[in-house]
Amino acid sequence: MKNTILITGGTGYIGSHTAVELMLAGWDVVVVDNLCNSERLTMERVASICGQAPHFVQGDIRDAVLLDKVFASYPISAVMHFAGLKSVGESWQQAAHYLDNNVGGTACLVAAMERAGVRRLVFSSSATVYGQPDAVPIPESAPLRTTNPYGRSKLLCEDMLRELQTADNRWQIALLRYFNPVGAHASGLIGEKPSGVPNNLMPYITQVAAGKHPFLRVFGDDYPTVDGTGVRDYIHVVDLAKGHLAALRYLEQEGKGITVNLGTGSGVSVLQLVAAFTQATGIQIPYQIFPRRPGDVASCYAATDLAREALDWRAKLSVGAMCADAWRWENLVKNMQE
C-alpha cells in the first residue's frame, strides 16, 4: 500500500476537495467522518473525479478505539484534520457540544496519533482567531482573540497543538488559518451543502439565484469600506485544498511546524461579490440593505507573504471562477432535490 493520508471530516466541504487533490497527486486517502454534516455519497463523487474512491470509515474522532483501529489498518504518514462543527450561531446555543466535538475531538485524535507514532498533522484553523483585527491585511503575528464559542474552540485547539509541538519536537504541525472558502469543484460534483438557510454570503447568493429566496439581505452599508459593505477574503476551495498539499510538503521537507494564513490577500465587498456573480452567470441578484449583523467585522483579509515564501503557494483562481463554480454546484443540488 502507498503512503496514506488520514483525512478527518473528509466527506465535508473542504475535506472532500482536499481528498481529490491528494488522490490526483498520487496519495492514498482514508477518510474518517461521522456524517453529522455530510453524506456518504460524496465519496462516490470523489471517485468519479479521481477514478478511485478513498477508503471510508464512518465514525467519530472522539472514539479512541475506532481511531486505533484505523491507524493499525493503514500505513498513515500524516493526518489532515477537518472534522469539526463550524456554525458561529449554533456555537452560542451548543457551547458545550462545540467544545467537546472540536477541542475534545482534537485531543482524542492527537492522543491516537501519539499511540500510533504518527506526528505529522495539518489542522483546519480559521481567520476567526484574529477576532476584530487591528489592521488589514492580517499577518500571522496579529493578536489572537475570539468573539464566540466556535472561535474559542479553534483557538483552544491551536493552543493545544502549539503546546504539543513545543513540548515534543517530533511533532510537525501546520496550523492553517483559512479566510473565506467559497466555490466548488469545477466538475460540479462536490461542493458546500449548508443545512437549512445559509449564514454565509456565497451560498445565500446562489440560493437567491436559484429562486429559493426572493432577495439577498446585505448586512450593513455603513462600514468604512470601499462601498460601505463588509469586505472579506474569498478563496476558491480548490486553491485552499492545494494549500494543504503545500503545507504537507513543507512539513515533510522542513521537519518542523508552521502557522500560516490561507487567503488570496484581496478584499472583496458584499456588493462587489454580487456584481462578480452577475458578471459570471448573467443572473441579477436582487438585494436589500439590512442593519449590520452583530459580531461582524468591517474588513478581513490575509497577509499572504508567509504562504508564498514558506509554502511556495498562492491562490490562483479568480472571484469569477468562484462564482461560476458555486453556481454550477448549486444547480446540481437543485436538480438532485427536484
Give the residue numbers marked as catalytic.
150
Compose the 93-132 pattern: x for residues touching ligand UFG by CB under 6 A, - for all others: ---------------------------------xxx----
* Contact residue for ligand NAD among 4, 7, 11, 246 (CB under 6 A): 11
- Sheet of strand 258-262: strand arrangement: 55-58, 28-33, 4-8, 76-81, 120-126, 172-178, 258-262
- Which 255-284 positions form the footprint of ligand UFG (CB under 6 A)? 270
- Which 87-106 positions form the footprint of ligand NAD (CB under 6 A)? 101, 105
57 CB-side CA count, 13 A = 20
Partner whose binding site includes residue 34, from ligand NAD, ligand UFG, none (CB under 5 to 8 Å by kind):
ligand NAD
Q: Least distance from C-beta 130 to ligand UFG, angstroms?
A: 8
**Please, what is the angle between helix 201-209 and helix 270-281, to 10°?**
40
Assess contact for 54 and 29: CB atoms under 8 A.
yes
Q: Least distance from C-beta 232 to ligand UFG, angstroms?
A: 5
- Which 155-184 positions form the footprint of ligand NAD (CB under 6 A)? 178, 181
Q: Least distance from C-beta 99 to ligand NAD, angstroms?
A: 12
Q: How far apart are CA 253 and CA 245, in angstroms?
A: 12
Give the containing element (helix H, strand E) for 260: strand 258-262
Give the residue with the Cβ less far from ligand NAD, 12 or 54: 12
**Which window, 7-15, 68-76, 249-257, 287-295, contacts ligand NAD (CB under 6 A)?**
7-15
SS3 158: helix
Partner whose binding site includes residue 88, from ligand UFG, ligand NAD, none (CB under 5 to 8 Å by kind):
ligand UFG
DSSP of 184-231? --TTSSS----SSS--SHHHHHHHHHTTSSS-EEEE-S-SSSSSSS-E
Q: How far apart are CA 179 and CA 265, in angstroms?
A: 9
Q: Least distance from C-beta 39 to ligand UFG, angstroms?
A: 21
Q: How far apart are CA 200 and CA 277, in angstroms?
A: 15
Q: Which residues bind ligand UFG (CB under 6 A)?
A: 86, 88, 126-128, 151, 180, 199-201, 204, 216-219, 230, 232, 270, 293, 296
